[in-house]
């Protein structure tokens, strides 16, 4: 049952002329067409509402029955004659599509090419500093022999005799008519009598196209880089798709990447940690950085060196940081003199470093 006011759908009054109805329909069809609203999932639903409203209000007989109310509009099969048949109005509807999008029927409806995704393997240094490289992209392009028509050279596609070039066929269902793609031409509106030998009539060939890609400095593993217009070719002169390059960055034996920061473990001797010292740490891309350890530095302590990390590949701004994590190195073998020194130190300090831990464990058992 009809639930929406068809006049409101088109934005016209009940006394609107056929010319006003047609102009309102063309404006809304352009605005809500799915090809112009790829990111809006509800665009197709609005487009269908506009189609239906125009189908009814552009037909004088249907419009009269709609104005009389539900009983006349839904009361039975359509009256005889071409004026009351749905297919006559559908023909007018698709004729309007031709006016809106630059052609007759479905034959000139363009289709955007498919996006293509490829991976590129990068060395750690190349990802850090940036590099321009070439990738092989498996894309679909128009056949050179038939120039994308699918017809053998010297021949052309001709209008489909089953649907008269509309690309759809209508089946009467009482008052309404159901539309479906034409089985003869597959909804294209045209057929190829003698297919091109180069592409077997498809009009397209899959090829590996070499594309130059600029990898920005600071690229991370798993980053997607978009190269506009370098994907597969569009159909019927439609725009090409995009190429997406997925970066795969080799791991470094010393540095661990965390976002735009790098983490490096630096070994520190027992004496350096206890007394404090100035140490050097390796820097991504080469060279070293110096930092001062305070006396009593503990194992696992982290120090941040600002701006010594990776450049920010997206959005610019300050580079990331280098995080230096202290790893205390305990000697595995001691000579006699070293043992005496450590034993004297232990006796001098008389420390009970585990006393607090044991106390917490006992308290937890008593709860």
pLDDT confidence of residue 261 = 93
Nearest to 284 by CA among 304, 264, 300, 267: 264
pLDDT confidence of residue 98 = 37
pLDDT confidence of residue 247 = 95
The SS3 of residue 151 is strand
pLDDT confidence of residue 272 = 94
Q: What is the mean pLDDT of residues 254-259?
A: 93
Contact status, residue 34 vs residue 81, Cβ threshold 8 Å: no
Least confident of 53-62, 174-183, 275-284, 329-338: 174-183
pLDDT at 175 over 80: no
pLDDT at 63 over 70: yes
- Higher-scoring residue by pLDDT: 113, 80: 113
**What is the dihedral angle through the alpha carbons of 151, 152, 154, 160, rounded to the nearest 10 degrees?**
-30
pLDDT confidence of residue 52 = 87
- Higher-scoring residue by pLDDT: 172, 160: 160
Q: What percent of the chain shows pLDDT beyond 90?
A: 39
Which of 54-63, 126-135, 198-207 is the most confident on average? 126-135
pLDDT at 172 over 80: no
Residue-wise pLDDT for 311-362, tens only, equals 988 766 789 999 999 999 999 999 999 899 988 988 888 777 788 888 889 9
Domain 6-101 identical in fold to domain 111-146+204-250: no
280: confidence class by pLDDT, cuts 50, 70, 90: very high
Beta bridge partners of 171: 178
> What are the sequence ranges of the domains in the chain?
6-101, 111-146+204-250, 256-334
Q: What is the mean pLDDT of residues 18-22?
A: 89
CATH of domain 6-101: 1.10.287.110
Residue-wise pLDDT for 95-121, tens only, equals 333 333 333 334 445 678 899 999 999
Q: What is the pTM of this model?
A: 0.58
pLDDT at 93 over 60: no
171: confidence class by pLDDT, cuts 50, 70, 90: low
Residue-wise pLDDT for 209-244, tens only, equals 999 999 999 999 999 999 999 999 887 667 889 999
Residue 207: how many other CB atoms lie within 10 Å:
12
pLDDT confidence of residue 100 = 36
Distance, in Å, from the CA atom of 148 to the CA atom of 184, rounded to the nearest integer, reads 20
Q: What is the mean pLDDT of residues 244-249?
A: 96
Residue spans of beta strands (DSSP E) within the chain: 116-122, 131-142, 158-159, 168-173, 176-181, 190-191, 204-215, 224-227, 243-249, 256-258, 261-269, 277-282, 288-293, 302-305, 322-329
Check if CATH label 2.60.260.20 holds for domain 256-334. yes
pLDDT confidence of residue 277 = 95
Distances from the Cα of 196 to the Cαs of 13, 80, 111, 234, in angstroms? 53, 46, 21, 19
pLDDT confidence of residue 3 = 52
pLDDT confidence of residue 330 = 92
Phi-psi region of 17 (alpha: psi -120 to 50; beta: other; left: phi over 0): beta
- Higher-scoring residue by pLDDT: 179, 78: 179
Task: Name the CATH topology of 111-146+204-250.
Answer: HSP40/DNAj peptide-binding domain (2.60.260)
- Higher-scoring residue by pLDDT: 23, 100: 23
For the chain, what is the mean pLDDT?
A: 82
pLDDT confidence of residue 236 = 67
pLDDT confidence of residue 237 = 67
Distances from the Cα of 56 to the Cαs of 32, 53, 138, in angstroms? 19, 5, 47
């Amino acid at each position: 049952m009809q639930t929406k006011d068809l006049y409101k759908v088109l934005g016209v009054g009940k006394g609107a002329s056929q010319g006003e109805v047609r102009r309102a329909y063309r404006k809304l069809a352009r605005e809500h067409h799915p090809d112009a609203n790829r990111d809006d999932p509800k665009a197709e639903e609005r487009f269908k509402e506009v189609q239906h409203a125009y189908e009814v209000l552009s037909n004088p007989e249907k419009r009269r029955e709609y104005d009389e109310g539900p009983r006349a509009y839904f009361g039975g099969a359509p009256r005889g004659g071409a004026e009351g048949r749905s297919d006559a109005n559908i023909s007018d509807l698709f004729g309007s599509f031709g006016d809106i999008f630059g052609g007759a029927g479905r034959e000139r409806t363009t289709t955007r090419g498919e996006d293509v995704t490829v991976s590129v393997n990068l060395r750690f240094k190349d990802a850090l500093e940036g590099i321009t490289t070439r990738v092989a992209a498996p894309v679909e392009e128009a056949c050179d022999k038939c120039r994308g028509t699918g017809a053998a050279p010297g021949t052309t596609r001709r209008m489909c005799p089953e649907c008269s070039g509309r690309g759809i066929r209508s089946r009467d269902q009482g008052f309404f008519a159901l539309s479906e793609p034409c089985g003869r031409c597959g909804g294209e509106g045209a057929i190829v009598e003698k297919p091109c030998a180069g592409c077997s009539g498809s009009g397209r060939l899959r090829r590996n196209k070499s594309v130059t890609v600029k990898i920005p400095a600071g690229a991370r593993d798993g980053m997607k880089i978009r190269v506009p217009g370098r994907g597969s070719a569009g159909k019927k002169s439609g725009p090409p798709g995009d190429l997406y390059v997925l970066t795969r960055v080799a791991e470094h034996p010393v540095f661990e990447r965390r976002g735009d920061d790098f983490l490096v473990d630096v070994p520190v001797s027992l004496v350096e940690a206890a007394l404090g010292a100035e140490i050097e740490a390796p820097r991504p891309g080469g060279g070293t950085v110096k930092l001062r350890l305070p006396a009593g530095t503990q194992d696992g302590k982290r120090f941040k060196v600002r701006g010594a990390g990776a450049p920010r590949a997206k959005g610019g701004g300050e580079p990331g940081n280098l995080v230096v994590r202290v790893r205390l190195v305990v000697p595995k073998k001691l000579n006699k003199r070293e043992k005496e020194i450590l034993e004297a130190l232990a006796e001098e300090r008389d420390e009970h470093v585990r006393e607090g831990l044991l106390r917490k464990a006992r308290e937890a058992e008593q709860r």
